[in-house]
Every structure is written in structure tokens, then in C-alpha cells.
Amino acid sequence: MSDIRKVVEIPINMGPAHPATHGVLRLRLKLEGEIVREVDPVIGYLHRGIEKLAESLTYPQFIPYTDRLDYAGSMLNNLGYVKAVEELLGIEVPERAEYLRVMTTELSRIASHLVWLSAWGLDLGAMAPFFYCFREREEILNIFEMLCGARITFSYMRIGGVSKDMPEGFADRLQNFLDIFPEKLSEYETILTENEIFLARTVGVGILPKEDAIDYGVTGPIARASGLEYDTRKIEPYSIYDRFDFRIPVEHGCDVYSRYLIRVEEMKQSMKIVQQALDKIPEGEIMAKVPKKIKPEPGRVYSRVEGSKGELGFLIISDGSDKPYRLRIRSPAYSNVAALPVMCENAKIADVVATVGSLDICLGEMDR
């Protein structure tokens, strides 16, 4: 009798070409009926060897490759890299460039969260947010295009500053966007935040307790949704973040729904920062005095910024030549996905989709 009721463990393969894995993540699941007993993420399907390539490129030549790390919000990677090199060289960035950097990175963060929201909505079966979010994202991309001519791969930041100043009409357009965006954001919230179906699929799903978050080195919105008040912008303010008034949202739900709330709130905070920066931006230079040939002294530096997915770090070892001796990228998604087995333990298989989506992974950055 007992044999009949015994459930057999079924291995199931999810990915690497699966719509809900947002790229080429692959999960090996062990199922017992509907319940997931074991999750084993297999990564590396987009391992492009960026770290090795960096060793054969000069410092400025590597900037375009940072665009291709986290392609949803490339500006943040740009900033992370140039900041590390500037720390290595000891360069002071002009005031105006810093403001431009803050504005573009925060807009990039909004764009990245919008992509996340749309793709995750699709995963959960909500088609409408996809179209809404991309409408606003296109506007942000237009603003970027005005600034540097590219939509996704900007290479806007340079070692010692930024490549272009604000063109004519830029401020108006940005202001216009900032004016309409809150209204649009509330539109998404009406679709999702109190949606019965949405709540049923997200509340209490994909729990990551605070201790586990610390254990796995999780950062970004996921850590903040697990009750960790950790944000590099506040804990170790880089650039000019200490001049702005914004707050770090923290939730204690530890679940997928909290991550959603965090990201929506973050978009609002980012908007606040952009508004302040736009109001206060001073006149002046946009490039510091940088030697023609960038040759840092031998040494090493680890510099971190708050990316849209979490803490993005660059470890650069210089041997005194014009190429980095070793460049290591600490990508937030790498650590975040490592914690996936904890989140999916004993969950239903449909919840795995919701959980993976909520991580906001970006394979380019994860596999490097």
C-alpha cells in the first residue's frame, strides 16, 4: 500500500532557454509532485571572459565592456569602473561631472527596475505592465540618446569625468519626464500592488530570512527586502550622494512581494535624487585633467557602487603598465543567485518562476 502513495522524485531541467529565467540561467530542479525539493542553478552560459579580455586592453579601452555587463542599466557599471580607476589614480572629478553622473546613474536605475518590473510581470502572467513600463523606459533611453547618442551601451563616463555635457533642451526634457513619471508609476501600482491574483502569487513566496541573506552575501533590493538596511550609497557615500536627501527603503517581509515594494519605492527615491541634482547642478568643467596615457602606480583597489541589482565592485590590480594586471568584477547577481536554493526550498514549482523573476538577474553581469 505504501508504495502507491510514495512520490517519486522527478528531475526537471529549466533553461537555459526558458522565458522565465531572463536570459540563460539554467536550473536543475528535483520535484516531488508539485514540491521542489532541490534547486541547483547552473550558470556560465554567458561567460564571455571579460576579466581576461581586460588584461589585454588599456584602461580607457575597457569602458565599453562595462556597458555589456549589466545591460539593463549600463551607466551604473560605467560608474563602478571609472570610479575604481579614479581611486587608483587619485583623480578628483569636477563638480558638474559628478552631478551628471548621479543623474544618469539614477535614471539608469529607474530604467533597469522598469525592465525588471515588465519582465517579472510577464512571468506572473500580467501582460499590461510590460507595455506600460517600456513606454517610460523608451523615454529614458531617448534622454540618454540625447546625451550620448546610444540607447543601451552608453560608454558615457570617462576616467576623470563624462564624455558630453548636457545638450540644449536636455534639462527641459528631463524635467518633463520627471513630471509625468510619478503619475505613470502610480498606474503600475494600481495594476499590481493590490491586485488579488498578484498578491496570491507573491506574498509569502520565496522567503529569504535575514540570517541567510547575510550568510550568502546578498545585496541590493533583495537584501533590503529581507530587513537588511544596507546600501552603499548611504553606508559609504561615494560621488556626491551625501548631498542628497533620500531614504533607503527597507521591508521585513523577506518575500517576493517585499522585493517588488522595495523596487517601486527605489524608483521614487531615484527620481527624487535626479530632481535635486537637476535643480542644483553647477556650471563648470566636465572633465578633470587626466594624463594622455593612463598609467597608474602599482597597487590595488577595491571600489564599490550600488548597482541596480546590488553591490557592484571592481577589484583592480595594477602593475604600473597601461593595462590592468588583474581586474575582478564582484557582480551582485552572482551572490544573489547563489541564495536561490534557500528561497526555493519546498516551494511549489510555479513559485520558482516568481522567485527567480524577483531576483532581477542579469546574466551578462553574473557570468561576466
Contacts with ligand SF4, residue ranges (CB under 6 A) = 68, 153
- Minimum distance of ligand SF4 from residue 74's CB (angstroms): 10
Give Rg (Cα) of the chain: 21
Please identify which residue in 30, 60, 95, 134 interacts with other proteins, judged by CB under 8 A: 134
Q: Judged by CB under 8 A, does residue 28 bind other proteins?
A: no
Out of other proteins, ligand SF4, none, what residue 348 binds, judged by CB under 5 to 8 A for its kind, is none
- For other proteins, give the closer residue by CB, 48 or 173: 48
What dihedral angle (degrees, nearest 10) is formed by the CA atoms of 7, 9, 11, 14? 60
- Region binding other proteins by CB under 8 A among candidate stretches 18-26, 87-95, 267-275, 286-294: 18-26
In 3D space, the residue among 256, 253, 264, 210 whose CA is nearest the CA of residue 353 turns out to be 256
Measured distance between the N- and C-terminal CA atoms of the chain, rounded to whole angstroms: 52
DSSP state of 36: E
Mark residue 311 as left, alpha or beta (left: phi above 0; alpha: psi -120 to 50; beta: remaining): beta
Provide the residue type at 335 as one letter.
S
Q: From ligand SF4, other proteins, none, which one binds at residue 328 (CB under 5 to 8 Å depending on kind)?
A: other proteins
Residue 198 within binding range of other proteins, rule CB under 8 A: no
Among residues 218, 267, 274, 333, the one that binds other proteins under rule CB under 8 A: 218
Candidate residues 64, 275, 285, 290; the one interacting with other proteins per rule CB under 8 A = 64
* Under rule CB under 8 A, residue 130 binds other proteins: yes
Which position among 104, 335, 355, 358 is part of the footprint of other proteins (CB under 8 A)?
335
Decide if 260 contacts 195 (C-beta within 8 A): no
Given the C-alpha cell 550620448, which residue does it identify? 148
Q: Does residue 235 bind other proteins (CB under 8 A)?
A: yes
Residue with cell 551628471: 100
**Strands of 167-207, DSSP E:** none
CA dihedral over 362, 313, 208, 126, signed as positive or negative: negative
Distance CA 184, CA 268 (A): 11
Query: Rounded to the nearest whole angstrom, what is the least distance from the CB of residue 16 to other proteins in the complex?
Result: 6
Burial of residue 64 (CB within 10 Å: 0-12, 13-18, 19+) is middle
**Of these, 38, 60, 71, 272, which contacts other proteins (CB under 8 A)?**
71
Q: Taking CB under 8 A as the rule, does residue 304 contact other proteins?
A: yes
Our finding on whether 184 is near other proteins (CB under 8 A) is: no
Minimal distance in Å, beta carbon 68 to ligand SF4? 5
Task: Report the distance separating Cα 61 and Cα 81, nearest Å.
Answer: 12
Please say whether the beta carbons of 318 and 135 come within 8 A.
no
81 touches other proteins (CB under 8 A): no
Instruction: Indicate whether 48 belongs to the interface with other proteins (CB under 8 A).
Output: yes
Q: What span, in angstroms and rounded, lies between the C-alpha atoms of 65 and 29? A: 33
324-330 sheet: strands from edge to edge: 299-306, 311-318, 324-330
Only one of the segments 61-69, 76-84, 97-105, 251-259 lies at the binding site for other proteins (rule: CB under 8 A); that segment is: 61-69
* Residues lying near other proteins in the complex (CB under 8 A): 16-19, 23-24, 43-53, 56, 64-65, 67-68, 71-72, 115, 118-119, 130-132, 134-135, 137-138, 141, 151-153, 212, 214-218, 223, 228, 230, 235-236, 299-300, 302, 304, 311, 313, 315, 317, 325-326, 328, 330, 334-335, 338-339, 363-364, 367-368
